[in-house]
Structure 1
Amino acid sequence: MSFNPLEHKGIPLDRQVRNWRELDVEPVDPDRSDPYTKCRIITMNGIEVEAIMFSHHFNRICPDPDIKRQMAEVRYIEQQQQKAVNWLLPGQASVLETTISYEQVAVDLTAWIARMEPDAYLQQAYEFGVLEDFDHLYRYANLYEMIEHRKAEKIVGELTEIMPGRPTVAEHRHPADNLRDPYDKNKAQPLSKLHALTVMSAEQQTMNFYMNVGPMYMEPIARQLYQEIGLIEEEHVTHYESLVDPGETWWERLVNHEYNECYLYHSFMETETDPKVKAIWELHLNMELEHLRLACDLMRRYGGRDPESILAPELPPPVTFEPNKEYLRELLATQIDLTTLGAGYVREAHERFEKMQQELMGGEKPPSERVIDEHREAFGYEYRSEPEGPHPVRRLRETAGV
């Protein structure tokens, strides 16, 4: 059944403030919950953080006190939503366990969006990035087994394969080569705008997460790996945010943010398997419907445009977390050797890329390579998914009782 958020009334803004008891949500069980439930939680946390920071940036350049007041009221509710969403994550999960879930989001959300993206240039941008997040998952999985002696497949539920992607060592590019050409706001389909905002928000939250949790580990290899992959996330945020047309007005961006929140909360309400979490998605959707209505009113009054002229007349099919194994294997077979040059993609290393590599590596292996070497030294093999049967070295060790 089609759903047009512009035609639905939400909860009035003056009834949206929740008390402490209502915000004290019950976290999901890390051992029994659907891995994709955690992925949906992490995604919506990133979406809410982006909405909050966008509103703050708007507040800093807005001279009108009436607009600032209304946005402050909505922003406070967004902050409550972010707290409720992010606090669904289990407290007993380690930083590395949460990290692996973050990378599962990056892999399966980006892969799904790439499959659904109607614009070929934007699709290529998502396909390029997903092979790098795929490799990050592999590196963190090896670190996880080394430090916590557990298997990452338990966290991802074998829904997402763990194996090398585009090697992280080959992902360090000159900053100028992380900029893409933006879509044209007057020609791009509304779905493409939603996709770009979603992936940008998710990657931004991953970047923020690694910036803050990286130094929490005592083990040198862990601290170093977070530093390295954290710098790749900076590249990814630049890569994805540059897809958005910089000519969009603040009002266009505002209604796109609110519409995208409605889209994602509705998507996850439709696909969630945990009843308690689903109830939160439904509640937040009904809040966001009001936020969207208010944003549309602001656009009409101050932006001089009808929001219906830029928004989809109904929500697209739900964003769905699902395995993308065959799709990713195809990308591995055809795009693993790509790098970027300017706003395009090439298969050969070039002068800027090689100079950046020399400056960063200093003749030494980066942490992303050393973590695999240390895992092999400790266990006799590297950790990865084994869809074709047990790893031969592991099988020999198990047979020998090692």
Structure 2
Amino acid sequence: MAFNPLEHRGIPLDDQLRNWSQLDVAPVDPDKSDPYTRCRIITMNGIEVEAAMFSHHFNRICPDIDVKRQLARVRYIEQQQQKTVNWLLPGQASVLETTIAYEQVAVDLTGWVARMEPDPYLKQAYEFGVLEDFDHLYRYANLYEMIEHRKAEKIIDGLTEVTPGRPTYLHHRDPFDNVREPYDRESTAPISKLHALTIMSAEQQTMNFYMNVGPMYMEPIARQLYQEIGLVEEEHVTHYESLVDPGETWWERLVNHEYNECYLYYSFMQTESDPRVKGIWELHLNMELEHLRLACDLMRRHDGRDPESVLAPALPEPVTFEPNKQLVRDLLATQIDFTTLGTGYVQEAHERFEKMQDAINAERPPSERVIDEHRDKFGDEYRLETEGPNPVRSLRDKPKESKQ
């Protein structure tokens, strides 16, 4: 029988506070753990960061001091959860190794959502984005070999391929064209709301991560590549957050956030291969069940509506990290030359896009120079193809030559 989080009581909020020794979790082993365990950790860190930031934004506009106090109590526990989850990442992993794992999350989480999304317009949004994350993985993998003399295959274990996607320099679009049409909160499927919130949260965490770790490198090409891809992540967050209906009330958004956390912790509890990490997912699920109950009570009291009117009656099929190689290959063959125009997509460059390209790519961009430097150093670029030749080896691999 499908799991309905609205029918289960979790751990009472008063019993959820953990002490320092309980929060001091041992990290996973970067050499022995399943790459998808690391992907689940990165995903849930992004989800918990979004939960905390949403609660802070709600707190800033909420005039009811009792509500603010309840938000603060739950938010403190959410922050403990975030610390537990993020501290599972191994300290001996370099920033670039973690970056490559972030991009594996972006490819295989967004790829899974694209395959499962029932709404054609939303599905197209995820298909569009995944080809850009795929190219980011390729650029960072080449940087990793250049400055750390290691290959990305040890991190991603062949589960995700490393080849060019839509070239990163083509991701820079006029901000006007990064805004999508939102779903209709009254008619869209509940799973579509969860998908949008999940991918928005994951991309937001990637954006935050890059803009904080990028300047920590000494190598100029590394600093420059993080800067360029960090700006693309800004575009991606705009792209995905605009899919959410702005007509949702704050109470509705609160229960959607808590329901989505239940969904993801339940999903990862079902699919986790590491027993110790699985225990953390189970513990956090039982905490989130109580957070959801409290949010539902607030919605009934302040919004005058039943949460059941906006939430799924039971959790959908679990979110699953698995290879999406065929999906990516199909998209490479059919959508690699897409860009955006207004809230839609086109296959030909248009005036606004070309103007943006001319301005920002007046000099050869870091995403292209990192491949140039890798070829100069090793004779070729780094790729990881696991199942025969790629249907699209490259498209417009090099941007227009510098005008200077």
The reply on whether 1:251 has 2:251 as its aligned counterpart is: yes
Which residue of structure 1 aligns with residue 288 of structure 2? Answer: 288
Q: Which runs of 4+ in 1 moved over 6 A?
A: none
Residue by residue over 1:168-197, the C-alpha shift from the partner in whole angstroms, topping out at 9 and shown as x without a partner, is 011100000000000000010000000000
Q: CA deviation at 1:388?
A: 5.7
Which residue of structure 2 aligns with residue 232 of structure 1? Answer: 232
Which residue of structure 2 aligns with residue 157 of structure 1? Answer: 157
2:370 maps to a residue whose letter is V
1:374 maps to a residue whose letter is E
Q: Which runs of 5+ in 2 are unaligned?
A: 391-404
Which residue of structure 1 aligns with residue 5 of structure 2? Answer: 5
Contact 2:158 2:386 in 1 (8 A): no
Residue by residue over 1:300-349, the C-alpha shift from the partner in whole angstroms, topping out at 9 and shown as x without a partner, is 00010000000000000000000010111001000000000000000110
1:383 maps to a residue whose letter is Y
Which residue of structure 1 aligns with residue 366 of structure 2? Answer: 367
Q: Which runs of 5+ in 1 are unaligned?
A: 392-402
Quickly say closer, same or farther: Cα 1:390–1:342, change in 2 above 3 A: closer
In structure 2, C-alpha distance between the alignment counterparts of 1:20 and 1:32, rounded to whole Å: 27
How many percent of aligned residue pairs carry the same amino acid? 82
Which residue of structure 1 aligns with residue 199 of structure 2? Answer: 199
Which residue of structure 1 aligns with residue 107 of structure 2? Answer: 107
Which residue of structure 1 aligns with residue 381 of structure 2? Answer: 382
Quickly say closer, same or farther: Cα 1:389–1:126, change in 2 above 3 A: closer
Contact 2:375 2:381 in 1 (8 A): yes
- Within a 5 Å distance, the mapping from 1:322-333 to structure 2 comes to 322-333=322-333
In structure 2, C-alpha distance between the alignment counterparts of 1:101 and 1:294, rounded to whole Å: 34
1:241 maps to a residue whose letter is E
Residue by residue over 1:102-153, the C-alpha shift from the partner in whole angstroms, topping out at 9 and shown as x without a partner, is 0000000000000000000000000000000000000000000000000101
Q: CA deviation at 1:386?
A: 3.1
Q: CA deviation at 1:361?
A: 1.4
DSSP 3-state at the match of 2:155: helix
Quickly say closer, same or farther: Cα 1:344–1:135, change in 2 above 3 A: same
Which residue of structure 2 aligns with residue 352 of structure 1? Answer: 352
- Within a 5 Å distance, the mapping from 1:45-64 to structure 2 comes to 45-64=45-64
Q: CA deviation at 1:74?
A: 0.1
Give the TM-score normalised by the residue count of structure 1: 0.96
Quickly say closer, same or farther: Cα 1:388–1:124, change in 2 above 3 A: closer
Which residue of structure 1 aligns with residue 177 of structure 2? Answer: 177
Which residue of structure 1 aligns with residue 399 of structure 2? Answer: none
DSSP 3-state at the match of 2:276: helix
Q: CA deviation at 1:387?
A: 2.8
The reply on whether 1:338 has 2:373 as its aligned counterpart is: no
Residue by residue over 1:207-263, the C-alpha shift from the partner in whole angstroms, topping out at 9 and shown as x without a partner, is 000010000100000000000000000000000000000000000000000000000
In structure 2, C-alpha distance between the alignment counterparts of 1:387 and 1:180, rounded to whole Å: 34
Note the aligned Cα RMSD (angstroms).
1.0
In structure 1, C-alpha distance between the alignment counterparts of 2:255 and 2:56, rounded to whole Å: 15
Which residue of structure 1 aligns with residue 140 of structure 2? Answer: 140
DSSP 3-state at the match of 1:268: helix
Q: CA deviation at 1:365?
A: 1.1
In structure 2, C-alpha distance between the alignment counterparts of 1:162 and 1:196, rounded to whole Å: 26
Residue by residue over 1:357-402, the C-alpha shift from the partner in whole angstroms, topping out at 9 and shown as x without a partner, is 111012x2100000000000000010001336799xxxxxxxxxxx
1:10 maps to a residue whose letter is G
In structure 2, C-alpha distance between the alignment counterparts of 1:84 and 1:54, rounded to whole Å: 19
Which residue of structure 2 aligns with residue 299 of structure 1? Answer: 299
Quickly say closer, same or farther: Cα 1:388–1:300, change in 2 above 3 A: closer
2:377 maps to a residue whose letter is A
In structure 2, C-alpha distance between the alignment counterparts of 1:299 and 1:166, rounded to whole Å: 43
DSSP 3-state at the match of 1:166: coil
Residue by residue over 1:19-49, the C-alpha shift from the partner in whole angstroms, topping out at 9 and shown as x without a partner, is 0000000100001100000000000000000
In structure 1, C-alpha distance between the alignment counterparts of 2:194 and 2:43, rounded to whole Å: 14
DSSP 3-state at the match of 2:222: helix
Which residue of structure 1 aligns with residue 316 of structure 2? Answer: 316
The reply on whether 1:189 has 2:210 as its aligned counterpart is: no
Residue by residue over 1:264-314, the C-alpha shift from the partner in whole angstroms, topping out at 9 and shown as x without a partner, is 000000000001100000000000000000000000000100000000000
Give the TM-score normalised by the residue count of structure 2: 0.96
Contact 2:135 2:165 in 1 (8 A): yes
State the number of aligned residues.
Answer: 390
In structure 2, C-alpha distance between the alignment counterparts of 1:325 and 1:387, rounded to whole Å: 9
In structure 1, C-alpha distance between the alignment counterparts of 2:252 and 2:145, rounded to whole Å: 46
Which residue of structure 2 aligns with residue 210 of structure 1? Answer: 210
